[in-house]
């Protein structure tokens, strides 16, 4: 039996406007073109924005910048660890 709260939670986490933000691991950068990181000052400060399917939408330098980028594209950012 599914409760109303479970339905609400499922709807919230399947929302198309949610974007998940997490720090990106160094090994995840291996597939990028070499010039993609030319302007990055601190590789340890990179965050990935991903959709609910785990597809990477962007890589941004700085947590605040990642949240700002999500909001600028009318998405709701959620931090994941």
Q: Determine the pLDDT at residue 76.
A: 93
Residue closest to 43 by CA, chosen among 56, 58, 61:
61
End-to-end CA distance of the chain: 31
Q: Determine the pLDDT at residue 63.
A: 95
**Statement: residue 64 has pLDDT above 90:** yes
- Asked whether residue 2 is domain-assigned, the answer is no
- Asked whether residue 63 is domain-assigned, the answer is yes
Look at the chain and report how many structural domains it folds into: 1
Q: Determine the pLDDT at residue 4.
A: 77
Q: Determine the pLDDT at residue 14.
A: 59
Find the domain containing 57 and state its range: 16-79
- Asked whether residue 5 is domain-assigned, the answer is no
Cα dist from 55 to 4, 7, 20, 39, 41, whole Å: 29, 24, 10, 23, 25
Q: How far apart are CA 5 and CA 58, in angstroms?
A: 32
């Amino acid at each position: 039996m599914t409760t109303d709260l479970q339905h609400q939670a499922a709807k919230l986490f399947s929302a198309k406007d949610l974007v998940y933000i997490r720090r990106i691991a160094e090994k995840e950068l291996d597939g990028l073109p070499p010039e993609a990181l030319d302007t990055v000052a601190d590789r340890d400060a990179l965050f990935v924005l991903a959709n609910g399917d785990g597809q990477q939408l962007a890589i941004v330098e700085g947590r605040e910048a990642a949240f700002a980028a999500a909001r600028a594209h009318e998405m709701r950012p959620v931090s994941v660890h």
